[in-house]
Homo-oligomer: A and B are copies of this chain.
Amino acid sequence: MYQEQYSRYVSMVEEALESLLPQTADACPAKGHAIPAYLCETMRYSLLAGGKRVRPVLLLAACDMLGGDMEQAKTAAGALEMIHTYSLIHDDLPGMDDDDYRRGRLTNHKVYGVGHAILAGDGLLNYAYECLLKNALDHPQNMEGLVRAASVIAGRAGVGGMVAGQSLDLLSEHTEPDADRLSYIHTHKTADLLTAPLLAAGHIAGATKAEFEALEAFGMSLGIAFQIDDDLLDVEGDAAQLGKQTGMDAQRGKMTWPSLVGVERSREKSAQLWTQAEEALGVFGEKAWFLRAFAEGLRGRKK
């Protein structure tokens, strides 16, 4: 039952993306005129590269749980995945992480060049808002809810959210690990964009104050646990490859939980946060069965 529901949500995400950014750009619903073919291909290369679609599935599942309109949620979910994808394209650029591969495929700039990778990222970020704004105009009966949903996404994605986390992350390379700074980086770089879909769903569906608090607590706990697990998977990957356990991502010099408190205490911290995430869902009772199972799945994930 969980797997089927998960597949259903992923299909809704893929449908939304395909309808918002079709192969032949002429039909783009948010646009009066076409997207140039090469730019469209560049954006689609990264947007349709698969992945678990964690953020848009969180949005759809939360909206479904709260009884919100799923058509409105689908567009918002697609837009959120565009924002996540732009951040990956720009993160991979020279001057940022300078990566040649992501999930076993060449990164965007290795295929289309640095200039077009910058533009594809800018284009996806801007188009996300174009779609969110059109969504609000297309549903005047829920315009305020949809503007609030777009607004919470903007806040968590931007200069007080994900971009803030990326900035501190970049500034903290090759510096001494520091708990406050690391916590700031994880909260903003990762947890903010995992909390945004839950709060956006709340605005689309008209959640109560108590429900918003629960969604925020669930998203933040899940988001930070997700990042700690990512760091642990990197350490384990390195250990398997290099035959040693190192708390430092040597290649990057990035600040991580294992580098700060060691592998064992990082595992404890992660376990504690996953428990908090589950507890936060208590207010929704049985209705939260999918989010509960989805969190379990994220917890047990492999690289």
User: Quick one: copies of this chain in the complex?
Assistant: 2
| Interface membership of chain A positions 129-147, coded 1 if the CB is closer than 8 angstroms to chain B and 0 otherwise | 1100110110010011001
User: When the two chains form the complex, which single residue of B31, B43, B117 contacts A155, counting CB atoms closer than 8 Å?
Assistant: B31
Q: What separation, in Å, do the CA atoms of A168 and B122 have in the docked complex? A: 15
What residues of chain B lie closer than 8 Å to A93, measured between beta carbons? Answer: 95, 114, 118
What residues of chain B lie closer than 8 Å to A55, measured between beta carbons? Answer: none
**Dominant secondary structure at the A interface:** helix
User: When the two chains form the complex, which single residue of B109, B126, B137, B147 contacts A159, counting CB atoms closer than 8 Å?
Assistant: B126
Q: What separation, in Å, do the CA atoms of A96 and B140 have in the docked complex? A: 40
Min Cβ gap A31→B in Å is 4
Min Cβ gap A220→B in Å is 13
A127 interface hit (Cβ, 8 Å): yes
What residues of chain B lie closer than 8 Å to A125, measured between beta carbons? Answer: 122, 125-126
- The answer to whether A32 and B154 have CB atoms under 8 Å apart is no
User: When the two chains form the complex, which single residue of B36, B126, B127, B150 contacts A167, counting CB atoms closer than 8 Å?
Assistant: B36
What residues of chain B lie closer than 8 Å to A121, measured between beta carbons? Answer: 122
- The answer to whether A95 and B118 have CB atoms under 8 Å apart is yes
- The answer to whether A119 and B34 have CB atoms under 8 Å apart is no
What residues of chain B lie closer than 8 Å to A25, measured between beta carbons? Answer: 159
Q: Which of A109, A130, A134 has the most CB of B within 10 A?
A: A130
Q: How many A residues have CB within 8 A of the partner chain?
A: 60
Q: What separation, in Å, do the CA atoms of A40 and B159 have in the docked complex? A: 8
Which A residues, 42 to 76, have Cβ-Cβ distances below 8 Å to chain B? 43
What residues of chain B lie closer than 8 Å to A134, measured between beta carbons? Answer: 151
- The answer to whether A39 and B122 have CB atoms under 8 Å apart is no
What residues of chain B lie closer than 8 Å to A166, measured between beta carbons? Answer: 119
What residues of chain B lie closer than 8 Å to A32, measured between beta carbons? Answer: 155, 160
Min Cβ gap A147→B in Å is 5
A269 interface hit (Cβ, 8 Å): no
What residues of chain B lie closer than 8 Å to A115, measured between beta carbons? Answer: 95-96, 170
Min Cβ gap A38→B in Å is 6
- The answer to whether A28 and B160 have CB atoms under 8 Å apart is yes
What residues of chain B lie closer than 8 Å to A87, measured between beta carbons? Answer: 122
Indicate whether A95 sits within 8 Å of B123 (C-beta atoms), given known contacts A32-B155, A38-B167, A143-B147: no
- The answer to whether A137 and B147 have CB atoms under 8 Å apart is yes
A113 interface hit (Cβ, 8 Å): yes
Min Cβ gap A249→B in Å is 17
A261 interface hit (Cβ, 8 Å): no
Give 6 closest A-B pairs by Cβ, nearest first: A95-B114, A126-B158, A130-B154, A31-B160, A39-B167, A133-B151
Please name 17 pairs of A and B residues whose Cβ atoms are closer than 8 Å in the assembled complex, sorted by A: A30-B155, A31-B159, A39-B159, A43-B159, A87-B122, A94-B94, A116-B170, A123-B158, A123-B167, A126-B163, A127-B154, A133-B147, A133-B154, A137-B151, A143-B144, A143-B147, A147-B147
